[in-house]
Chains A and B, each alone.
Chain A
């Protein structure tokens, strides 16, 4: 590992970014799902900075209130304050805490990186909201904050009864979708806003993220079994529904639904489809034609042919260099190497390294 570190330092030479640290993360038995996501989050600079700031403001002496947030903050602080520029760190406390807290992640079975990211972000939000409410003293009832779940399909609407608390996690990751439903009888359009921390997209063979986003926002007709209850007509009606992005998030996280439940097989199958993703992206499925531009800065890659086994690695862009994180190992890669993680153009292929979660950051113009 020392050798690997020095190799990376040599590769970067005098281009090694001032103050930046590139540390591999030790694997504690199938924790690559966790390591790959942690690296992507670490190199999400606004998120990292706010987490480090949080840590310096909230250094709690008592280990008693240890939670996932403090463990994560502790880990990031540990990385960023290393004397050496490269090396390996063991995210031991964080993984222990994670396993203690959620039995899903306790086993040594293969875990899903997206599920982990989802869980982690919601957990952070919960903790921050609780703290915010507590510090607001007791003007509000101490009901536990409503969990904001992730993904467009199971999102809770903004509860009107409670003033939503906007934490710095929200400020980074949260966007708002608007779900427009037009009753085909009375033509009334009902719009319902939903928040999201990431977008889960259905994928097709030999398509692009642009196309998957378009499909996500395409008009869908609700009929037959799936009719819409129109408040105006007071009955189930056929309707047209479409999702648009009302507020694009600062950090756009796109999850490719590569693990699909195949009913005939009674199990999940990995879709190795080739889905190309550009290094720059604009969202055109927005409510206002905002043309918000994003730049890709991290990719969590699933390696392997099936859903129940395999490996996770991540690609990260830092100071205009692309780096490849594989648990303990960190390497420099060419920008053009990102293209090798698009997927397989045909079903039976030796290519098993596929982009799974994409992290785009909004560019300020």
Chain B
């Protein structure tokens, strides 16, 4: 295959020259037991524009699937998920590490697969991919799948399915930096994209409208927490509430989280009472029916990431204090949680069935939290630095699974500041708990007696202290690959690919083994992208797009 040959030569020359350099050549594929994942596209921002504040922010990516405006093509998705599915279908997000974090809506992305029909698995992200690929990069008509990512003072939007390395659109914020964002493909009233800034300001806009405009400014935005009128601390995470009918939440660096309803007036009156005890969880509601409608004081220090379970019942947060907290969102109640081994937690993600939560943080560990046991059931050891992104692969099914469900295997991935991607298989029956359960019996989550034992040991609403190293079963990664030259901030699984993003805004799209084959007619992605590296961003693309 020419394709492979081409990339091999590139690789070997790069690694030869870079032998003693810091970044020996990176491969354009990585191997797993199920086959090779191949680098399909890279997306980045024009390198000439390293603006003000660059480096202070961590890039996050949101996957945004924009449907046809008049409902027609994507009828399967609307029928199976309906308007209420909110975040769950397409908005996969990423979150970044360091101070901030993220995770969220990817829960949603996976959510679609809950109803295991073929139709729903298609919904998520890449519905339009094949057609777009064939036609090429510059003909989007509004619908399609986009990558929304922040770098410095700008939000960039790239077409996921084009070979173009450069974004098709940039939106600049001047003196402030966008740091987090979220997308709801089923949003009513047009506003589907949320953007949180380091100044604490929050915007909701319509993604389609941004793509139709030629300028570099945000258009048609609703502005919340204007000039920090309610909270002046940095936004750290933002997400739509699944089935929330236009409700979204914004986490801040001071440990507060605000609930907004986009149907309500944006110019709220900050009439929340003073927080009496910074160490205690508390919820306050707005006195008038204005935004924000509620304030949750969650923890001391930054909330680094928020993720809703697919059904929207539970909300998980992780933060600077190292605690994972799980809330019953509707009842505004703390259900359970626990502390990291040490240091802050940076990211979190739910399994699609809501049974497990992954967290990653400054102890270099990937932590698996069981909702049934209300405790950590495994620590994944393998990163050489902080874990900045975690996600379950909801599209993956074990090759030898017979469908009995007796021994469920979960596939998940993690990325870290060590520039590596790790893939893991979690098979509950295989976990060996060293000390606690000397008497045989498989420690699966199905044993009823056990969960009642843990219920009594851990009443609702209490947080567990950090476990001891010897008490937690360890997982080893299935594969570990250095895939970027920079520390990473997040990953997203789509049906066709794995997306990885670095803190500095470089995105790589790795096609899954099966899909990579079918794409091999394209020219080498690396070559083609590097050849067309011109800083001409939006102009012509936008022009042709404005056909409506």
Interface residues in A, total, Cβ within 8 A:
25
Q: A274-B417, A339-B99 are in contact. Are A347 and B21 (CB under 8 A)?
A: yes
Mark the stretch among A62-70, A145-153, A159-167, A205-213 that contacts chain B. A205-213
Instruction: Tell me if B342 and A208 are in contact (CB < 8 A).
Output: no
Q: How far is the CB of A354 from chain B (nearest CB, A)?
A: 15
* Residues of chain A lying within 8 A (CB to CB) of residue B503: 345
Q: How far is the CB of A283 from chain B (nearest CB, A)?
A: 10
Instruction: Tell me if B487 and A289 are in contact (CB < 8 A).
Output: no
B385 within 8 A of A: yes
Q: How far is the CB of A253 from chain B (nearest CB, A)?
A: 18
* Contact-residue bracket for chain B: 20 to 34
* Residues of chain A lying within 8 A (CB to CB) of residue B469: 282, 284, 289, 291
- A346 to B484, alpha carbons, bound, how many Å? 11
B260 within 8 A of A: no
Instruction: Tell me if A282 and B341 are in contact (CB < 8 A).
Output: yes
Instruction: Tell me if B487 and A206 are in contact (CB < 8 A).
Output: yes
Instruction: Tell me if B486 and A345 are in contact (CB < 8 A).
Output: yes
Instruction: Tell me if A276 and B99 are in contact (CB < 8 A).
Output: no
- A293 to B99, alpha carbons, bound, how many Å? 22
Residues 1-31 of B at the A interface (beta carbon under 8 Å): 21-23
- A351 to B54, alpha carbons, bound, how many Å? 12
Q: A204-B384, A208-B364, A278-B362 are in contact. Are A293 and B487 (CB under 8 A)?
A: no
A280 within 8 A of B: yes
A137 within 8 A of B: no
Instruction: Tell me if A279 and B344 are in contact (CB < 8 A).
Output: yes
B308 within 8 A of A: no
Instruction: Tell me if A282 and B342 are in contact (CB < 8 A).
Output: yes
* Residues of chain A lying within 8 A (CB to CB) of residue B504: 345
Instruction: Tell me if A274 and B487 are in contact (CB < 8 A).
Output: yes
Residues 302-345 of B at the A interface (beta carbon under 8 Å): 302, 322, 341-344
Instruction: Tell me if B384 and A208 are in contact (CB < 8 A).
Output: yes
* Residues of chain A lying within 8 A (CB to CB) of residue B470: 289
Residues 328-365 of A at the B interface (beta carbon under 8 Å): 335-336, 339, 345-347, 351
> Which one of A207, A281, A347, A351 has the highest number of Cβ atoms from chain B below 10 Å of its Cβ?
A207
Q: How far is the CB of A271 from chain B (nearest CB, A)?
A: 10
* Residues of chain A lying within 8 A (CB to CB) of residue B98: 339
Instruction: Tell me if A208 and B417 are in contact (CB < 8 A).
Output: yes
B261 within 8 A of A: no
Q: How far is the CB of A16 from chain B (nearest CB, A)?
A: 19
Q: How far is the CB of B114 from chain A (nearest CB, A)?
A: 36
Q: A206-B385, A293-B342 are in contact. Are A280 and B486 (CB under 8 A)?
A: no
- A211 to B253, alpha carbons, bound, how many Å? 27
Residue of B nearest to A351 (CB): B55
Chain B positions within 8 Å of A, measured between CB atoms, are 21-23, 55, 98-99, 253, 301-302, 322, 341-344, 362-364, 383-386, 417-419, 466, 468-470, 485-487, 503-504
Chain A positions within 8 Å of B, measured between CB atoms, are 204-208, 210-211, 274, 276, 278-282, 284, 289, 291, 293, 335-336, 339, 345-347, 351
Q: Which 8 A-B pairs give the minimum distances between C-beta atoms?
A: A278-B343, A278-B362, A211-B384, A208-B385, A280-B342, A282-B342, A347-B22, A289-B470
Q: A206-B384, A345-B487 provided; 9 other pairs, C-beta below 8 A?
A: A206-B419, A208-B362, A211-B384, A279-B344, A280-B342, A280-B362, A282-B363, A336-B99, A339-B99
